[in-house]
Chain A
Amino acid sequence: MSEYKLKSIGKNSSCLHLSGQIDISHSKSIKDSLLSALKEGKSLKINLEKVEGIDLAGLQLLCAAGETAKAVKKKLTLNEKIPQCFTNALLESGFFRDKKNTSEKSDECFWLSEWVNI
């Protein structure tokens, strides 16, 4: 069961809990919840702990969220607890960046892999 809940975690910051499948079949509703989550507060944390699977469309959504956060000058981070399926998806899709090959100025979704320790 895929669910998207937004919880406030203190002043100006909130956390979006994603669970179930982050894939193309749910992409529209995920997009909507990401958009509305980014409207609130100054920083947003995305909790992927209960995610059971993610595909390329899902990864694109997270990247797009990162872009949007940058545009509206908000801080977007991932929860420290990352499920294995998410790490695998990063590796399989080539989204994962080896830090030694990446300059810090990277304006792409570097933040996706920054939180993943592989």
Chain B
Amino acid sequence: MKENYAETMKAAFCEEAHELLIELETALLELETNSTDQELIGRVFRALHTIKGSGAMFGFEKISEFTHEVETVFHQVREGALSVSKELINLTLLARDQILAMLDSPEENEETNSLKNIEIITLLKKLVASVSTETAPQTPHAAAEKADQPSPEVEQNFRIRFRPSPDIFLHGTNPILLLDELRQLGECHILAHTSSIPELKSLDPEKCYTGWDILLTTNKGIDSIKDVFIFVEDGSELNIEIIEEKEKPGIDNEPKKLGEILVERGDLAPEKLDQILEEKKPIGEILVDAGLVSTEKVESALVEQQHIKETQEKRQSIEQTASIRVASDKLDSLVDLVGEMVTVQARLSQTTSKVENAVLLAISEEVERLTAELRDTAMSIRMLPIGTTFNKFRRLIRDLSGKLGKEVILTTEGAGTELDKTVIERLNDPMIHLIRNCMDHGIEIPADRKKLGKDPTGTIHLRADHSGAYVLIEIIDDGSGLNREKILAKAVEKGLASREAELSDREIYNLLFAPGFSTAEKVTGLSGRGVGMDVVKRTIDALGGSIEINSIKDKGTTITLKIPLTLAIIEGLLVELGDDFFVIPLSSVEECVELSREDVASSHGRHLAKVRGSLLPYIHLRQIFNIGGEAPEIQQIVAVQSDGRKVGFLVDKVIGQLQTVIKSLGKAYRNIEGISGATILGDGTVALILDVLKLAKKAEIEEKASAQQ
């Protein structure tokens, strides 16, 4: 049990550390451009500091030790003794990678790891030494002043006792305005002490007899409170104290009171207890009666008690609204459950619509509404902003620029666009590949760019934007653009296209996605092996998305990825074939047309239909799925867009549109061609989801084979 706990803690640390490393990387890269930004330096330092601290706590001593060394360097940066240089950023990024490596494989390569550690640390130390001899007498003042500043984040409770000088009115000061200033500092309870006010006849109406007890919760520190009273200090009594809070406040930790225990045990009737308690006087009253404290003091103490309680409650509620960490598989199972729920709800709706019962109908409608909300909420929990991925590419581009001798900057737009977590994860590799291609083939070297009159620094722009149930991700470079002729020549050479074929730009660009295609004149370590683009295409297809390339010579290339918001839900078109139901993803559906028996007869056995004067090839689904029985008199063709071409699917009947939760088919059926998943309909029947792309490809191959025969 104990070991388990330790393991969980370690896993939590790893997760946290990964996040911190991402934060560290982002901050470092930003620091490179804003090398004097104190806040960024602070961010780097804090990330390092936290990794060090929690690393040591969870038994990652090596990481902790190593990070400590790096942190020491950044401590100097923060103090102003060391300035941020490109070299420092380089080394720190290396160190960051090293921490990541140690984190991911703590035991393996221990030796190489520690060698590398020493190497990095030596380099860092060298850097510090060289710089500190140069700029040793740097302004330590600025740093010292910085350090003296109180940390402003902590909220503190203050007890302020203020008794102004009796002549305060004569100085033209209105004490109430001072109280107003205090209120602006934070949550404030003010209690006036009036016991010094004499009877009328001995009262000098121009003197101040009132004093105050003030409870203030603020994060601005004691100095800002003192500032409020700065002009009235002479002759006034002012006492500011910090109220220490108990370590763990809250009702949970409070032991039960004796009376409560007696009542719980049944030894005492609750009414009796209340009665006794009512008779008993509160401690304040007892003390006042005994003449030990004045009523005023008791009141003030009571106000303090309440003030502290209120601020604690407030803080607790703030803590409760803050985010919590949840393992992603828990989320996955939540979404699964919600999926089941949606299915059951659909069945409920269908059943109640048959039974004529108003009450039941009302309940069913309520369940429908709630389920829809539940579904949307569950989905939204899984959504992550795509910005985290964008930040990863910043590093990639920086490193690649160095290797390729090109100057490239990354600009992003729409980093807040949210996508399903799984989708984001799966997008990572294809995006890396596409960006590498941009860097390698797209953007020219600075000298060439100058010749063309372009800015020697190339730009890669990443843009994400919502478009219905999809997110459009664009990778835009301002490089040389695609060379149409070169692509065509290569495709002919590889036998992917015929020389005579008249191909549109789009068809030519699509050739890039064919397996084994590569036009790079030389194969570099980055790209040009021709294994990438087809994999990219396949991954995007598997996500239910599409990819499109647009290019203008010497102006640049735009690659657009259209990705569904979520993988868990599909907008589909429900169709019927015999007794079975199928779902065609609505995203690819273009139109539905009718096909009568006469039409079939007139096409002489070829699967072609005439739609508005042009021919539409269609796939006979009844044949493919071996569905017996007679097809109806009038069938329907669902025309879909697949790989830039239009293909029809012949079905008995189109039932309608539905939004449904996708169920995977399980291991045994995973590799069935033409089916990408399944879904459960309202009445409990299973409907298979068609893989439009694969079916079209398969039909094409079969067609070719039969033509050759």
Contacts and interface: CB of A to CB of B under 8 A. Distances in A.
B199 A93 contact: no
Contact of A103 (B180, B192, B284, B306): B284
Contact of A95 (B194, B195, B203): B194
A106 B295 contact: yes
A30 to B, nearest CB: 7
A88 B31 CA distance: 51
Given A27-B205, A30-B205, A57-B206, A106 B199 contact: no
Interface stretch (B297-305, B329-337, B670-678): B297-305
A101 B306 contact: yes
Nearest to B209: A60
Contacts of A56: 169, 174-176, 208, 210
A75 B284 CA distance: 27
Contacts of B212: 94
B296 interface: yes
B169 A57 contact: yes
A35 B200 contact: yes
In the complex, which of the residues A59, A60, A71 has the most CB atoms of chain B within 10 Å of its own CB atom?
A: A60
Contacts, number: 101
A38 B206 CA distance: 21
Interface string A44-87: 00000000000111011101110110010000000000000000
Contacts of B203: 31, 60-61, 64
Contact of B179 (A67, A94, A102, A106): A94
Given A103-B284, A108-B194, A93 B176 contact: yes
Contacts of A61: 200, 203, 205
B260 to A, nearest CB: 22
Given A27-B206, A95-B192, A55 B200 contact: no
Nearest to A91: B190
Contacts of B291: none
Given A67-B199, A67-B200, A109 B194 contact: yes
A34 interface: yes
Contacts of B198: 64, 67
B645 interface: no
Interface of A: 24, 27-28, 30-31, 34-35, 38, 55-57, 59-61, 63-65, 67-68, 71, 89, 92-95, 97-98, 101-103, 105-109
7 contacts: A24-B206, A30-B205, A55-B176, A56-B169, A94-B179, A94-B192, A108-B195
A63 B194 contact: yes
Interface in B128-173: 169
Nearest to B289: A105
A68 B209 contact: no
B288 A92 contact: no
B283 to A, nearest CB: 11
B295 A108 contact: yes
7 closest pairs, A vs B, by CB? A27-B205, A94-B190, A94-B192, A101-B302, A68-B200, A68-B199, A64-B203
B197 A67 contact: yes
Contacts of A68: 199-201
A92 B180 contact: yes
B190 to A, nearest CB: 4
Nearest to A67: B199
B191 interface: yes
In the complex, which of the residues B174, B197, B288 has the most CB atoms of chain A within 10 Å of its own CB atom?
A: B197
Contacts of A24: 169, 205-206
Interface of B: 169, 174-176, 179-180, 190-192, 194-195, 197-201, 203, 205-206, 208-210, 212, 214, 282, 284-285, 288, 295-296, 298-299, 302-303, 306
B180 A97 contact: no
A109 B203 CA distance: 15
In the complex, which of the residues B179, B284, B299 has the most CB atoms of chain A within 10 Å of its own CB atom?
A: B299
Contacts of A57: 169, 205-206, 208
A34 B176 contact: no
Nearest to A38: B200
Contacts of A35: 200-201
Contacts of B282: 103
A31 B205 contact: yes
A61 B195 CA distance: 13
B191 A64 contact: no
Contacts of B296: 108
Given A94-B179, A94-B190, A108-B296, A60 B210 contact: yes
B250 to A, nearest CB: 22
Contacts of B303: 98, 101
A41 B633 CA distance: 109
A1 B481 CA distance: 84
A92 B176 CA distance: 7
Contact of A93 (B169, B179, B200): B179
A93 B192 contact: yes
B209 A92 contact: no
A101 B282 CA distance: 11
Contacts of B194: 60, 63, 95, 108-109
B90 to A, nearest CB: 59
Given A56-B169, A56-B210, A94-B190, 18 more contacts: A56-B175, A56-B176, A56-B208, A60-B197, A60-B208, A64-B197, A64-B198, A64-B203, A89-B176, A92-B176, A92-B179, A93-B175, A93-B176, A93-B210, A95-B194, A98-B306, A101-B299, A105-B288
Contacts of A63: 194, 197
A95 B197 CA distance: 12
